[in-house]
A and B are shown apart, each in its own frame.
Chain A
Amino acid sequence: KAGVTQTPRYLIKTRGQQVTLSCSPISGHRSVSWYQQTPGQGLQFLFEYFSETQRNKGNFPGRFSGRQFSNSRSEMNVSTLELGDSALYLCASSLAASGSGANVLTFGAGSRLTVL
């Protein structure tokens, strides 16, 4: 059974550019969550999607957005990149959405973004 696949694994952008990251969840998983990991702030929740609807959103500016497609694949976009957006972006998938009791999240390997 394939795990959570994130692409690209590494990318370098310059300030002001935008970036789109992709996440393919485990087959059958309908919930996708995104997290940002930086040395200073640790792992922080960005947003969660289920059945193409955003269900929860973390405390990030509007430059961070996402969407989910009918096949449960998800993308996140960061516009007008800043140096502080350099981070490891992690995607996690699960069978069910929030409100489903014991629900295990499976993480991908992440996309490492460097902003110069």
Chain B
Amino acid sequence: DAKTTQPPSMDCAEGRAANLPCNHSTISGNEYVYWYRQIHSQGPQYIIHGLKNNETNEMASLIITEDRKSSTLILPHATLRDTAVYYCIVRNAGNMLTFGGGTRLMVKP
């Protein structure tokens, strides 16, 4: 799996949008971008994934640049419960996820 680079930490005000960037400059054509988050000591929770097009679901939006070398996860209205470590992962069809250090998002009141 290609490597990803994420900022180690970010803060966001409650109610504001949280924009979490991810760099994956070595991504190949058949690799998907996945986002998971992990709330303290729980199992990682799937958020969203995409290949080329932008994606949106009930939790978040995923914006992938045209060259696919970077992406941004957007939580439109962050709440305190969104405080977690967010992992950006690029993977091919395999189930061997390679987790990096992730971004520790702190949502503050």
Contact = CB atoms under 8 A, between A and B. Distances in A.
A58 B96 contact: yes
B42 A105 contact: no
A103 B95 contact: yes
Nearest to A91: B43
B67 to A, nearest CB: 20
Given A106-B46, A107-B43, 20 more contacts: A33-B97, A42-B99, A42-B101, A43-B87, A48-B95, A48-B96, A56-B96, A58-B96, A92-B43, A98-B93, A100-B93, A102-B49, A102-B51, A104-B46, A105-B97, A107-B44, A108-B43, A109-B42, A110-B42, A110-B43
Interface size class of B (residues with CB under 8 A): 20 to 34
Nearest to A102: B32
* Interface SS of A by simple majority: strand
A98 B95 contact: yes
Interface size class of A (residues with CB under 8 A): 20 to 34
B94 interface: yes
B52 to A, nearest CB: 12
A100 B46 CA distance: 17
A94 to B, nearest CB: 6
Contact of B93 (A4, A35, A99): A99
Contacts of B51: 102
Contacts of A110: 41-43
Given A90-B43, A102-B51, A109-B43, A33 B95 contact: yes
Nearest to B87: A43
Top 3 nearest A-B pairs (CB, nearest first) are A107-B43, A43-B99, A98-B94
